[in-house]
């Protein structure tokens, strides 16, 4: 049977609390932690996550790598690296779409059926929120995957409202 699109949900909350198969981290290319959701995930996962990430050799923008969740409620963490917004003519849209495609492929590689995403690149990396949420939803809806449920976990109301508006 051809893979169907995942069921989509939009929630307001802290992605580190998600009791699910995999949560996605908006990381940087070093995979050695940072602020924002990256910092929150590392704090919640504990020091074993950083120790494991040190063995991975980083991750190029637009790609994704999977690690265990360690002390997190989620079994896996999918680390993906979003593009830094530079005005929109440096391939940012395709790189952001690639983050969602690569993250779904990473989920498939470990058999994760339920995945939670933060709003990748819309914080420190300054990607415009409306454009980023449009790419998130359209890419997840059009990427063949065995993932059955995607939760967009929004840390603030403005982000949640944007996803809700996009999902109609």
Please give the residue ranges that form the binding site for ligand APR (CB under 6 A).
14-16, 26-28, 34-40, 82, 118-125, 153, 155-156, 159
Pairing of strands 64-68, 76-81: antiparallel
Decide whether 69 or 118 has the Cβ nearer to ligand APR.
118
Strands 22-27 and 114-117: parallel
**Least Å distance between CB 148 and ligand APR?**
21
Q: Tell me which H or E stretch contains 33.
A: none
Active-site residue (options: 38, 108, 134, 156): 38
Least distance from C-beta 154 to ligand APR, angstroms? 7
Closest to ligand APR by CB, 15 or 49: 15
Nearer residue to ligand APR within complex by CB, 1 or 55:
55
- Smallest distance from ligand APR to CB 116, Å: 8
Least CB distance to ligand APR at residue 5 (A)? 23
CA nearest to 26, candidates 93, 114, 122, 94: 122
**Cα first-last separation, the chain:** 28
Nearer to ligand APR, 15 or 45 (CB): 15
Cβ atoms within 10 A of the Cβ of 26, count? 24
User: Does the annotation count 38 as an active-site position?
Assistant: yes
- Of the candidates 105, 111, 116, 108, the residue with the CA atom closest to the CA atom of residue 150: 116
Tokens encoding 75: 């079994």
Could you give the residue numbers annotated as active site? 38
């Amino acid at each position: 049977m051809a893979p169907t699109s995942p069921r989509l949900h939009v929630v307001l909350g802290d992605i580190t609390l998600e009791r699910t198969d995999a949560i996605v981290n908006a990381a940087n290319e070093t995979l050695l932690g940072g602020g924002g959701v990256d910092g929150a995930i590392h704090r919640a996962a504990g020091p074993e996550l950083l120790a494991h990430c040190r063995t991975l050799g980083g991750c190029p923008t637009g790609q994704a790598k999977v690690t265990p969740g360690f002390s997190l409620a989620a079994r896996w963490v999918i680390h993906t690296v979003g593009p830094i917004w530079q005005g929109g003519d440096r391939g940012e849209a395709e790189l952001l779409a690639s983050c969602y495609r690569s993250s779904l492929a990473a989920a498939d590689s470990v058999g994760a059926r339920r995945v939670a995403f933060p709003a990748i690149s819309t914080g420190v990396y300054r990607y415009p929120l409306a454009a980023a949420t449009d790419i998130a939803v359209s890419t997840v809806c059009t990427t063949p995957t065995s993932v059955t449920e995607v939760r967009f976990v929004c840390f603030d109301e403005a982000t949640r409202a944007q996803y809700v508006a996009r999902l109609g």
